[in-house]
Amino acid sequence: MHFSIPETETRPGEGGNGAYVLRKEYGANVVPAFPPKKIFTLTPAEVEQRREQLEKYMQAVRQDHLLGGSEIFNSFLRKAQQETQQIPTEEVQLEVLLSNGQKVKVNILTSDQTEDVLEAVASKLDLPEDLIGYFHLFLVREAKDGAFSFIRKLQEFELPYVSVTSLHNPDYKILLRKSYWDSAYDDDVMEQQVGLNLLYAQTVADIEQGWILASKEQHRQLKSLQEKVSKKEFIRLAQTLKYYGYLKFDPCITDFPEKGCHVIVGAGNSELNFQVKLPNDQIKEGSFKVTRMRCWRVTSSVPVNNGTSGPTAGKSEVKLELAFEYLMSKDRLQWVTITSPQAIMLSICLQSMVDELMVKKSGGSIRKMFRRRANGALQRSDSQQAVKSPPLLDSPDANRESIAKVSSKLSSVSLRAISHSSSSTDIRANDFHGNFAFEGIGDEDL
C-alpha cells in the first residue's frame, strides 16, 4: 500500500485522536510512534518535513497486518476521504464499466467501501457470491480510442464514489475486471453463466486492443467461434495465445538494459514482460519472473531546483518509479527501474502475484480470498492468513555495485515519503517490499 499527502493546509483548533486510540487499543510497543507536533508556527520547510513524516507513519501502520486491517484505522481512512473532499454520506448512483463497455448502474452510499460496491455490482449482474472474489474494481482512465489505462486497483478501505468523483474528470471510470492471474482459475469462473459472460467480454476486449497476440489464422478461428457464440471454446483458444491474462501498461521509461530506454510493460503469468526499444530503434523482449525479485519499492520524486525542494521550490510534476532487485544469475542481483505514472499499479500487480503464488503454495483456495468484514473490521479467510505481508527486508549492501547504480540515479532528485536524509545512498529497510515467493536459482535455470 502506498500513501501520499500531496498538499497541506493549516487548520487551527482541530486535532485528531486516531493515533492515541490505536496505541490505547494495541499498545505502544505495537503502534509506531506518531510524529511529534510543534507548538510554534511551522516554516514551509518544516511543513514539508511533517508532511513526509505523516506519510511514513501512515505507511508503517498500514504495513502492519494487525493495525492495517483494524476498524480504527480503516474508519479513519474512510472519514478522511469524505472530509477531504467534503462529500456527505448520502445515497447516490454509481456507474461501473464492464470490459465490453457495458455500464452497470448501482445505488450505493457515498460512504460505501470497495467491497460494498463490488457486492452491489455482483448483485446487479446476478454473479454468484462464491465468484465475487475472482473479480475486482479498478480505477481506470479511458482514452479517446476507448482503451483503458489502469491507474490502480481500488483498495478495501477506499470509497469508490469519492475516489472517482474527486478527480473531476469524466475520463476516469471504475472498471470491473478479473482479479486473478493463473488461467487455471478460469475453469471456476466458467462454471456459472454470468462468470463466463464476464470472462468472455474481457477476453474479447483484450484481443481487440492488442493485449493478446494472435496470428491471422488464429483471428479467423476466434471470429468463427464468436459467430457461433461458442464462448468457452473462444476462451480456451485465447488461453493458448501469447499474453493471455496479461495487463498492459502505457509506454514508459526503464534503465534496463541501458538508461533511458522506452518500454511497454505487461504484467501476467507471474512476471513482468518488457518490450524495450533500444536507442538504435531495435526492439528487444524479455521477462522478469516475480519469483526472482528479492524486493521492490516505489518512490515518488520531484526535480531539484537550485539545490532546494519542497514547497519553496515551486510546483513540479511528481515522478513515480518502481525499482525491483532481480536475481540475474546465481550470485548477481541487479536493480531494474521503471519510470511510469502507473508505478503504484505495477507494485500492486507484483504484490497480488506473490499473494496468489503463496495461496497456491499453502494449499489455499482463491474462492476463499474474498475479504469479509465482521463488525467493521476486515477479515481474511484461513487461506489468506497464510499470505501475510512479507517482512520488510534489510536494505541491500550500500557498497554493492547495483546499489551504487541506483544511488547515482536518485541523486538528482529529492525523495518524498521515503527518507529525510539528503544522502543519495540512504536507502532504508522500511522502504522495501520483501518477497516471500523469492526463490534462489542456479545458472542452469537462467
- Would you list the DSSP string of 147-197? -EEEEEEPPTT--HHHHHHTT--TTEEEEEEE----GGGHHHHTTSHHHHH
Residue 368: the pLDDT is 54
Return the number of other C-beta atoms located less than 10 Å from residue 225's C-beta: 18
Whether 148 and 211 have beta carbons less than 8 Å apart is answered as no
Q: Can you tell me the distance from the alpha carbon of 44 to that of 332, in angstroms, rounded to the nearest whole number?
A: 43
- Give the angle 353-335-292 at the CA atoms, nearest 5°: 40
Q: Rounded to the nearest 5 degrees, what angle is found at the Cα of 270, between the Cα atoms of 383 and 299?
A: 95
Report in angstroms the alpha-carbon separations of 143 from 18, 96, 104, 163, 250: 40, 16, 20, 19, 11
Whether the predicted pLDDT of 108 surpasses 60? yes
The per-residue pLDDT for range 115-128, each reduced to its tens digit, is 999 999 999 999 99
Q: Is the pLDDT of residue 386 over 60?
A: no
pLDDT on residue 11: 47
Confidence of residue 78 (pLDDT cuts 50, 70, 90): confident
**103 and 109 in contact (C-beta within 8 Å)?**
no
Residue partners of 395: CB distance under 8 A and separation at least 6: 427, 428, 429, 431, 432
Contact 89, 110 (CB under 8 A): yes
The DSSP H or E segment spanning 56 is helix 44-63
Residue that has been written with the C-alpha cell 448502474 in this structure = 105
User: Which three cell numbers, joined as nine digits, stand for 145?
Assistant: 480510442
**Confidence at residue 440, expressed as pLDDT on a 0 to 100 scale:** 55
> What region, left, alpha or beta, does residue 428 occupy, with left being phi > 0 and alpha being psi -120 to 50 degrees?
beta
Work out the widest C-alpha separation in the chain, in whole angstroms. Answer: 73
Whether 198 has a pLDDT exceeding 80, the answer reads: yes
Interval 158-169: pLDDT, tens: 999 999 999 999
pLDDT tier for residue 74 given thresholds of 50, 70 and 90: confident
Mean pLDDT of 366-392: 43
Helix (H, G, I), strand (E, B) or coil at 303: strand
Whole-number pLDDT of residue 2: 52
429 phi and psi, to 5 degrees?
Answer: -60, -35
* Burial label, 422 (beta-carbon count in 10 A; 0-12, 13-18, 19+): exposed
pLDDT at 205 over 60: yes
Rg (Cα) of the chain, in Å, rounded? Answer: 23
Pairing of strands 172-178, 91-97: parallel
For range 41-53, the mean pLDDT: 79
**Surface-to-core class of residue 446, CB atoms within 10 Å of its CB (0-12 exposed, 13-18 middle, 19+ buried):** exposed
Comparing 36-40, 52-56, 202-206, 314-318, the range with the smallest average pLDDT is: 314-318
- What predicted TM-score, i.e. pTM, was given to this entire model? 0.77
Percent of the chain with pLDDT over 90: 52
Q: Mean per-residue pLDDT for 404-420?
A: 28
Q: How is residue 418 annotated by DSSP?
A: S
Burial of 170 (0-12, 13-18, 19+ CB in 10 A): exposed
Burial of 310 (0-12, 13-18, 19+ CB in 10 A): middle
Q: How confident is the model at residue 279 (pLDDT cuts 50, 70, 90)?
A: confident
| pLDDT value, residue 56 | 80
CA 100, distance to chain mean position in Å, is 23
Q: Strand pairing of 413-416 and 293-303? A: antiparallel
What is the model's pLDDT at position 369?
Answer: 52
DSSP character at residue 443: G
Residue 326 has a pLDDT of: 96
DSSP β-ladder status, 247-248 and 271-277: unpaired
The answer, yes or no, to whether residue 422 has pLDDT greater than 80, is: no
pLDDT confidence bin for 433, thresholds 50/70/90: low
Q: What one-character DSSP code corresponds to residue 424?
A: T
What sign results for the dihedral spanned by CA atoms 363, 367, 369, 373? negative
Q: For the packed helices 231-239 and 216-227, what is the interaxial angle rounded to 10 degrees? A: 160
